[in-house]
Amino acid sequence: MTVLQTTTAPAHERTHAADQANTAASADIELGAASASHSKVVQTILSALTDAHDFDSTQIKTDDESLMHWGKDWTKHFAPAPSAIVFPKTTEQVQAIVLLAGEHNVVLTPSGGRTGLSAGAVAANGEIVVSMDKMNRIGQFYPADRMVEIEAGVVTEQLQQFAESKDLYYPVDFASAGSSQMGGNIGTNAGGIKVIRYGMTRQWIMGLTVVTGKGDILQLNRGMVKNATGYDLRQLFIGSEGTLGLVTHAQIKLERQPHDLSVMVLGMDSFSDVMKVLSAFQAQIDLTAFEFFDDTAIDKLMAHGQVQEPFESRTKFYTLLEFEAPYEPIMDKAMAIFEHCMSEGWVVDGVMSQSLAQAAELWKLREYISETISVFTPYKNDVSVLITHVPDFISEIDKIVSDNYPDFEVCWFGHIGDGNLHLNILKPEHMSKDDFFHECQIVNKYVFETVQKYGGSVSAEHGVGMTKKPYLHYSRSNTEIEYLKEIKRVFDPNNIMNRGKIFDM
């Protein structure tokens, strides 16, 4: 890949820079909690990386602080216990790691920005973490194709900013975009707040360079729009959570920038009215977002004090919708639909942005929810059902939780325009984290039985990792899971790639 531009270090890279003092070269490495024989094997691999593959002292870490830092993602339930962290700078160095790991039967955990919510990047069993932090360059830009080549460690926001500098747009966006990496986004097929218009990460990946679990380097699709030459292996790697191999480079499609985005926040008292409002707007306007949150989310946001209450009085449900309004007639149409929804009694109150600054202010209502509720140690479930089933699904889950766990407070939010709901159960103050986790796992059974009843998915966009692994069978048949395992055996016959994630072999 030709490197045309090296962007300035993203925020998370600057944080890592402070840890440079903790780096260790292959000599005198103190390995963590692993057994002596495992430590010896890992030591052999690390020595080979420095001796034969040009790894310098900044590319291997084994100190406790680093093992804790890079051994975990955003989830808190699994204690990190990796053996070492390695930071390749090229695809060939990634290949060297994979070949050595295969030879010595050591498991690798691919690691991006570690914002994952399913413990996909958690190394809890003596794995070597392969961090893509040092592969964060933006490469060749193809204006005629509206496409750019990137390394897997490029941070999502870094790509968004690059697109903007070319007067283009990378539309996959979510609250963790400032830290998550494109390799991680590809690993989870990340979604976010613009899926209703622009689709998931998958829609934007035109090509991938991967190192398979066998150690082969494959260039998949090479950026082409049309390529009717049989199986599209690129699609298998998207959403595979690092279980088939490591993504090192990607070719990413960019889009024209949206113009004059307007935001409305509407308040409703019944969930079925939320769905009527969605239909009313979608019938006439191309929405770029249709997000939803409940009054519990508003309660917590207001207590936190970072955002303003949208209306004078509370409603039970809120939606945030966004659309391009470069021309007066679109704005008039949006106002007419809003008035229709009010006259039907579906909407109780509403507010519309008059400037981009106001639009950004309204977006905070949705974007700050995750951070605000994080102090309540939320047990998160990211599920999806057909939009048609969303109202019945929500009321069934609410009933299950309130009947069985009257102490538990539930906070709903999500990308309702895609049928994607984030169910957050907040920990009661008096309960220990362990007890709460245990109780939530019991609730899970009911939640996933309900997901199954509606033919939905136990993970809409956060992946399976370790947290959803026990529940995969609620969304995938046993026969289908056997096919998934067969595919893994083809790419990763030694089962060294992210072993124990998605399913056990």
Ligand X SMILES: Cc1cc2nc3c(=O)[nH]c(=O)nc-3n(C[C@H](O)[C@H](O)[C@H](O)COP(=O)(O)OP(=O)(O)OC[C@H]3O[C@@H](n4cnc5c(N)ncnc54)[C@H](O)[C@@H]3O)c2cc1C
For residue 499, give the nearest of 243, 128, 266, 310 by alpha carbon: 243
Do the beta carbons of residue 122 and residue 465 sit within 8 Å?
yes
Binding mask 428-467 toward ligand X (x if CB under 6 A, else -) reads ---------------------------------xx--x--
Residue 152 binds ligand X (CB under 6 A): yes
Interface residue with ligand X, options 83, 93, 136, 176 (CB under 6 A): 176
Closer CB to ligand X, 191 or 350, in the complex: 191
Please choose, out of 33-41, 109-117, 336-344, 389-397, the segment that lies near ligand X by the rule CB under 6 A. 109-117
Amino acid at 177: A
Burial category of 133 from C-beta neighbours within 10 Å (exposed 0-12, middle 13-18, buried 19 and up)? buried
The end-to-end CA distance of the chain, in Å, is: 35
- Quote the Cα angle for 19-21-24, to 5°: 105
Closer CB to ligand X, 133 or 409, in the complex: 133
Report the distance separating Cα 98 and Cα 78, nearest Å.
24
Closer CB to ligand X, 120 or 456, in the complex: 120
Q: From residue 456, how far is each of 46, 382, 451, 472 by CA, in Å?
A: 44, 11, 5, 11
Instruction: Give, to the nearest 10 degrees, the angle between helix 271-282 and helix 390-404.
Output: 160
Residue 190 binds ligand X (CB under 6 A): yes
Half-sphere exposure of 267 (CA within 13 A, CB side): 15
Give how far the C-alpha of residue 314 lies from the chain's centroid of Cα atoms, to the nearest Å.
31
Secondary structure of residue 60 in the 3-state scheme: strand
Residue 171 binds ligand X (CB under 6 A): no
Closer CB to ligand X, 62 or 188, in the complex: 188
Report the distance separating Cα 200 and Cα 55, nearest Å.
35
Closer CB to ligand X, 152 or 390, in the complex: 152
Residue 126 binds ligand X (CB under 6 A): no
Please state whether 130 falls in left (phi above 0), alpha (psi between -120 and 50) or beta.
beta
DSSP-derived letter for residue 325 is -
Residue 292 binds ligand X (CB under 6 A): no
Report the distance separating Cα 320 and Cα 289, nearest Å.
7
Residue 417 binds ligand X (CB under 6 A): no
Report the distance separating Cα 209 and Cα 469, nearest Å.
27
Residue 174 binds ligand X (CB under 6 A): yes
Q: What is the largest CA-CA distance in the chain?
A: 74
Interface residue with ligand X, options 63, 127, 133, 241 (CB under 6 A): 241
DSSP-derived letter for residue 212 is E
Six-digit token pair at 84?
């070492």
Residue 184 binds ligand X (CB under 6 A): yes
| Shortest distance in whole angstroms from residue 293 CB to ligand X | 13
Closer CB to ligand X, 153 or 350, in the complex: 153
- Point out which residues pair with 110 in neighbouring strands: 130
Do the beta carbons of residue 235 and residue 221 sit within 8 Å?
no
Interface residue with ligand X, options 115, 296, 319, 494 (CB under 6 A): 115
Phi, psi of 16 (to 5 degrees): -65, -35
| Shortest distance in whole angstroms from residue 496 CB to ligand X | 13
| Shortest distance in whole angstroms from residue 369 CB to ligand X | 9
Binding mask 62-101 toward ligand X (x if CB under 6 A, else -) reads -----------xx---------------------------
Closer CB to ligand X, 76 or 399, in the complex: 76
Number of residues that bind ligand X (CB under 6 A): 38
Closer CB to ligand X, 152 or 278, in the complex: 152
| Shortest distance in whole angstroms from residue 146 CB to ligand X | 22
- Quote the Cα angle for 18-23-25, to 5°: 160
Closer CB to ligand X, 116 or 350, in the complex: 116
For residue 362, give the nearest of 328, 319, 329, 331 by alpha carbon: 319
Closer CB to ligand X, 181 or 315, in the complex: 181
Residue 290 binds ligand X (CB under 6 A): no
Residue 381 binds ligand X (CB under 6 A): no
Closer CB to ligand X, 100 or 337, in the complex: 100
Burial call 434-443: b when 16+ CB within 10 Å, e when fewer: eebeebbeeb
Interface residue with ligand X, options 32, 80, 82, 116 (CB under 6 A): 116
Give how far the C-alpha of residue 336 lies from the chain's centroid of Cα atoms, to the nearest Å.
36
Please choose, out of 112-120, 261-269, 298-306, 320-328, the segment that lies near ligand X by the rule CB under 6 A. 112-120
Residue 492 binds ligand X (CB under 6 A): no
- Tell me the residue nearest to ligand X as measured from the CB: 184
Do the beta carbons of residue 300 and residue 235 sit within 8 Å?
no
Closer CB to ligand X, 293 or 338, in the complex: 293
| Shortest distance in whole angstroms from residue 492 CB to ligand X | 12
Residues that bind ligand X in the complex, under the rule CB under 6 A: 73-74, 109-117, 120-121, 132, 152, 174-176, 180-181, 183-185, 187-188, 190-192, 241-242, 246-247, 370, 461-462, 465, 498, 501
